[in-house]
Each structure stands twice: as C-alpha cells, then as structure tokens.
Amino acid sequence: MDLNTTWFILIAVLFIGYFFLEGFDFGTGILLPFISKDDTDRRVVINSIGPFWDGNEVWLITAGGAMFAAFPHWYATLFSGFYLPLLLILLALILRAVGFEFRSKLENAGWRRMADSFIFFGSLLPAVLWGVALANIVRGVPIGEDMDYTGGFFNLLNPYALLGGVVSLLVFTLHGAVFLSLRTEGDVQTRAHTIAQRIWWPTLLVVAGFAAFGYVQTDLHTRIGVIPGTLPLLAICSYIAIAIFLKKKLDGWAFLATSLTIVFGAAVVFEGLFPRVMVSSTSSDYHLTIYNASSSPLTLKIMLFIALFFVPIVLAYQGWSYYVFRKRIGRAAIPNHG
C-alpha cells in the first residue's frame, strides 16, 4: 500500500466517522420539534447531544484539513465546484451552534423558539446537502482537463443527487431517533422508539430506489469489492438488524446497527470511487485520482507521522467523553422541570 492509498483510506475513515457521529446529531436536531411536547422535553433532547455535537464536528474539520494537505487538487476542485452547497452547510452549522449555545441565555419563549428553529434547520439542511454532494461525486460532475469544475449550481440538482439527499435525510433521522431511544428515558424515549419504527420502512423503500437508480447513474456496481458485494451486503444486514432490535427494544444494539449501516453505506461510496477521488462526467481522462490530485511524497510522509501521533489522542479523548456522559437523560435531570 503506497502513501496515496493510505491517505485516501485515512480521509475516507474521517468522513465516515463524521457521518456516523454527526448523523445522530443531525437526526436529533431534525426530530426536536416533533418529539417534544414542551420546553422540558426539548431540553432533554438538546441535552442528549449537548456534550458531543461540537466534538463530532471536529471530524469534518480534520477531514477537510487532511484533504487539503494530501490531495490539494481534490480539495480545490471540490470546494470550488461545490462552493454554494458547502457554504450553505457552513452557514447551517453556524446557525445550529448559535441555537445550542445561546438558547438558554434568555428566559424568553420567543427567543427559545427561534433557537429551536436554528437547531432544526441547521440540522435539516446539512443532512440533505451531504447526500446531494456524495451522490454527485459518485455520479460525476463536469470537470475539465485543468481539473476545474466546468458546470454550474443547477448541474448539482439532478434527480439522482436530490434522491441522495432524501436518503441521507431519512437515514440520519432514523439514526437520531434510535440515538434518542438509547440516551433518554420516559415519554421522550417512548416517542423516539415509535418514530424509529415508523420511519424504518419508508427509509428502506427510498434507499432501495436510490440503489436501483445508481445502477443507471453510476458505475459503483462494477467497481465494488475485493469480494464483490461484501460492503453492500453488510449494509443490508445491519439495516435489517435495526428493525429486529427495535422490535425487541434493544436500544443499544439498534444504535449499533444504525451506526454500522451508515459506516458500511459510506464505505461503499469510497470503495466505488477508488482510486478516483472525483469522477468527471466530461471524460474519463479527466477523473481526479489519488495520484494526479495528490501532494508530493514528502508531504504525504510528514503528514502521516503527524496523523499517527495526534489521531489516537483525539480518539481517546472523544471516547472518554462518551463514557463520562453515558447515562440516560430524563425530565428529572432538567432544573425547574416542574
């Protein structure tokens, strides 16, 4: 395995980790207005991800920094071609952060409603746009000989990409519902469990339609697998397991199953791309690969040593924070809940 492949795998792991961790953050934020009956319920929902949401976003920052250092041409083409969607994601994440950080600064019902709307839309928009972006990357976008994106914004709003946005929205919402059923207790937990069971079937139908559409729109099915079909099969099995564990009310196992579904599903995307990093719909000669988009070997080597030192520290710290805040949250944990 050469340095280019190693860095492709590392960046893939960072993005997959981000989708797994931030996925339940997005899902929780999306469910906030639907799962809460009053302000105390909303505080239970918000507190369930309170210790984690900003740490989860570090994975995206790290992935973007690693992409910039290891594959600068990939970074340049992606961030220029997808400028508006990525800007919207950034603005949405800022609004969401404002909602989390300043919601309790004023004892005013109108202010808290506005903060809740920031959290909702700041979760909804990225949940959709990440699916749109990934679908476009595997489908292919207009890229010229000089590695520049030659399309416009509306090139990104094709039917396959929009369906990809619906898929990511539903999967993250399901992930968030299962997370809430694991992290909360009482009525919020009951409602979260019910929502997770209800959206399992619609999500399955949409994902199946998206996969079938992908056979026409992409070449992923021709490129997947050291053992062909392994990752898609694992994703299917883990998704079926979600329904089984939900029925048996095994919340921890259900959360593991939704997590593995996202991990395996995202891994399918990166496995199908490799050794490409962006597909050119203009010509196969203009694909961006781990070789023509990479930094120098010396840069890759230096960055690898840095990553091997700091990544375990970050993982250990984040794992510790999840352990410390592992207990369920209920209305009794909210001050003045009566």
Mean pLDDT, residues 259-269 taken together: 94
Q: What is the pLDDT of residues 154-185, one digit of tens each?
A: 889 999 999 999 999 999 999 999 999 999 99
Do the bridges between strand 288-289 and strand 276-278 make them parallel or antiparallel, or are there none, so unpaired? antiparallel
- Residue 337 in any domain: the answer is no
Give the pLDDT of residue 338: 43
Range of the domain at 258: 3-327
**Distance in angstroms (rounded) separating the CA atoms of residues 119 and 28:** 9
- Residue 332 in any domain: the answer is no
Give the burial class of 186: count Cβ atoms within 10 A of its Cβ; 0-12 exposed, 13-18 middle, 19 or more buried: middle
- Residue 24 in any domain: the answer is yes
Q: Is 90 within 8 Å of 70 (Cβ atoms)?
A: no
Q: What is the pLDDT of residues 41-55, one digit of tens each?
A: 999 999 999 888 888
Total domain count for the chain? 1
Q: Is the pTM of this model over 0.85?
A: yes
- Residue 184 in any domain: the answer is yes
